[in-house]
Each structure stands twice: as C-alpha cells, then as structure tokens.
Structure 1
Amino acid sequence: MKILGINGSHRPGRGTAALLGAVLEAAQEQGADVEQVELAELEIGFCIGCNTCLGKAACALHDDMDILIEKMREADGIVLASPDYFSSITARMKSFMERTRPLHMVENALKGKVGGMVATAGLDNCGIEETMAAMERWFATHEMLVVHARPAGPVLGSGATATGFAGLDEEGKPIWRSVKRDAAAFACARQLGGDLVELAERLSGSRSCGAGSA
C-alpha cells in the first residue's frame, strides 16, 4: 500500500507541508508506505500544448515530471496539498496538473486510485473552498475516488483546511496564528490519512475477489 503526498506550496516544510504530513503520518500508522514530494524542489516545466499526448501516453518534455509520473502510477493513493492563492491552487500546482495530461488523454492511467486533498489559507471562507474544489476536479478528471474525511463527533469544518485566522480581539482586529495550530484541520487531516488507507484496502480486496471468481 503506497500513499503519495504532493505539496504545491512554494515554501517547502512550512504549514502546508505540515498539514500534508499529518495525513501521511496517519496513513503510515495504518501500515501504508508513504512519501511526501515538494514540487518546489523539482524541475517541472510548463505544458507547451504540443499535443504529443493525444496519440500516446507520453510527454514531449523530459524533466523531474518523468519520475513523479512513475511515482503516481505506483501509488495506491495520492494526496494533493496547496495553499490558497487568489482563491485557487498555486501556479506550481496548476503547472503540475497540466503536466499530468499524458495520463489522461489516451486512457485514465490513475483511474480507481484513491485521492484526498488539504489546503491552507490566511482567512476562513476567503477562497480556500475554491482551492479544494480545484484539486477535487483534478481527481475527477483522472477518474479517481476522492475521500472526504470527517472525524467522529460534531462537524468542525469542511475538510482538512487550515487557516491562520484565530478570531478577533476586543477592538475587532484579527488575531493570527500559525496554520499548524489549527487543531480541527489537523484532526481532519489525520482522519483523511486513515480513511485513504481503509478505502484503498477495501478496493484492493474487491478486485482480488473479482479476479478469483472470474
């Protein structure tokens, strides 16, 4: 069982990386092999629209995306992470998504894998929902099965979305915190890690049963 985390933040090792790390840590505790990739540490060029991938599952460009594509093919689950930039994913994450076109145009090579996403932002209800939606659409394009985690108990939020907003002071001014202190988001992230492994195992078992009865 392999779960691959892909961080689209321009700043490796910061809040978004920590939130993604919580997902992977929980998945690892459930027995999965995990790996976290920082897009900021890779050399990935822009898709140039050459349409090579319309005829075969290959890209005309060759850079670190070659290695990342193989990691995605081998993974049972993929988790995307991005901070909110102008109510969407980062340009780095968008460029990565476009470079996965060869996995989609001929046949959906990632079909049936499980997926999940986490996001960070400065403020609540200020674009983070659209950031999550952009990642969810990427999963849908590749026919992946998206996990929407919810820890047991009362609803604390809509997904693993950590923000730096901690409320207002007596004068109505914002109180800021590190996104790493968003306890509800990190609880959801850990739930996501466990749920990803659980769903992937169920799917693996179903496929094994199907193969045995053929």
Structure 2
Amino acid sequence: MRVLAVFGSPRKNGNSARMLEAALEELPEEAEIRRVYVAEKNIAPCCATRDCLTLGYCPVEDDMQALYRDLDWAEVVLFATSSQFGDVSAPLKAFMERTWPLRGKLKNKIGGYVVAGRRYVESSINTLHAFILRHNMILGGRGAIGYGYHEGDVENDRLAYEDSRKMARRVVEVYELIHGNRR
C-alpha cells in the first residue's frame, strides 16, 4: 500500500496534522508512506490558462511538478486540513486546483481526509469530497472532524482521534477489497 499523506495546514504539528498522524498509525506495517506539507512547498495557484488541456500537463514550473509524480505513485491519498475561513487551507486549495491536468489519472485511487476547526467545517468537507469525486477516486470512509482552534486543542477531542483511526481502517479495508487480499 503506497500512501501519500497531504498535510494542508500551515501548522506542521497542528490539530489536523495530529489527527492524520493518528490515522497513519492504523495502516499496515508494510505500508509505504510519503508525507507532503503543502504549506512548505512553492505551489502557485492555478492561473487558468487552460494550457494543460492541450499540453496534457501544467506548464507552471514549481514544486507541484514533483507532487504530480507523488500522486502518480500513490494508491491512497489522505488529506489533513484545518478549516480556514470556512474552507480548506489556501496551500491545500492551490494544490488541489493544480491537479486539473491529472483528470482521469487519479481514478480508483482511494481518498480520505481529516479536518480540524472550531466551527463551520462543512465547506472544507464539501471541497474534499468534491476533489475525491471529481477525480473518480474512491472515498475511503466518512472522514474525521476534530474540534480545535489553538494548536493542540484537538487533544481534548477523543472522537476526533477515534474517527481518524476509523477512517484509516476503512481505507485499508477498501484497499484490500480492491486488491483482493482481504484479511
């Protein structure tokens, strides 16, 4: 199982990162995990030239070029984001928008997510669902939501960790169903 863990929050050890790390602990020992902290990457937003439609790739030269290879490598893509102004973080949104040239190439990969926020996280969830569904990925569970505003607040949200782990276990179950090695 090849897993790309995409951390969207600018806080490397923030609430959503803690939740995703808890989820990653549930993966099989032999799982290969690549962690990407998109806030540390130089990812320009989509400039909507639509050149990618004719070229078949995004011509913008930045850190996204290497991340395309990571997405191609991955069988599972797990997202973590803080809810900022009611949606996914700006670095994660730029990453997501820049995957437009990959239309059809993420098909049947398994996607999952965790979201941390104080309130109004629904749009973040909708954005993540839309990303997974628009790329014809398979949603691996219902995701997890954690309550947290200040770094570490989610430590007091037992359900956030339980749901993060449940999401990961469901991702593993779906992976095994697809790959025919159900335990």
Both structures adopt the same fold (TM-score exceeding 0.5): yes
Q: Which of 203, 207, 211 is 2:178 aligned to?
A: 203
| Offset, 1:134 | 0.8
Partner of 2:127: 134
What residue is the counterpart of 2:20 in the other structure? 20
Question: What is the Cα deviation at residue 164 of structure 1?
Answer: 2.7
- The answer to whether 1:46 aligns with 2:45 is yes
Offset from partner CA, 1:108-153 (integer Å, 9 cap, x none)? 100001111110012xxx311221111110001100010225xxxx
Where does structure 1 lack aligned partners over 5 or more consecutive residues?
Answer: 150-158, 166-176, 207-214
Once the two structures are TM-superposed, the CA of residue 5 in structure 1 deviates from its matched residue by: 1.0
| Preserved CA contact (<8 Å) 1:3 1:27 | no
Counterpart in the other structure of 1:115: 111
Question: Considering only CA atoms, is the larger Rg found in Structure 1 or Structure 2?
Answer: 1
Deviation digits for residues 145-177 of structure 1 (CA, Å, limit 9, x no counterpart): 10225xxxxxxxxx4111038xxxxxxxxxxx7
Deviation digits for residues 7-50 of structure 1 (CA, Å, limit 9, x no counterpart):
11111122111111111121144x32122211111111121112
- Within 1, Cα distance between the matches of 2:39 and 2:86? 20
Give me the whole-angstrom Cα distance separating, in 2, the residues matched to 1:129 and 1:48: 26
Q: 2-side partners of 1:74 and 1:63: how far apart? A: 19
8 Å Cα contact 1:21/1:36 also seen in 2: no
For 1:65 and 1:197, locate their aligned partners in 2 and report how far apart those are by CA, in whole Å: 27
Q: What corresponds to 2:166 in structure 1?
A: 191
Q: How far did 1:56 drift?
A: 3.5
Match of 1:35 in 2: 34
Contact 1:83/1:121 (8 A) holds in 2: yes
Q: Distance in 1 between matches of 2:154 and 2:28?
A: 22
- Counterpart contact for 1:6–1:80, Cα < 8 Å: yes
Q: Is the 8 A contact 2:71 2:106 kept in 1?
A: yes
Report the TM-score when normalising by structure 1: 0.78
Contact 1:15/1:179 (<8 A) preserved: yes
1:103 to partner: Cα distance: 0.2
User: Which amino acid counterpart does residue 74 of structure 2 have in structure 1?
Assistant: A
The Cα offsets for residues 57-106 of structure 1, whole Å up to 9 and x where unpaired, read as: 211112111111111111111011111112211111111111101101xx
Q: How many residues align?
A: 180
**RMSD of aligned residue pairs (Cα, Å):** 1.9
Q: Which consecutive residues of structure 2, in runs of 5 or more, have no partner in the other structure?
A: none
Q: What is the rounded CA distance, in whole Å, between the counterparts of 2:163 and 2:3 in structure 1?
A: 17
TM-aligned CA deviation for residue 181 of structure 1: 2.5
Structure-1 separation of matches of 2:121 and 2:99: 23
One-letter amino acid of the structure 2 residue matched with residue 109 of structure 1:
K
Equivalent residue letter for 1:203: I
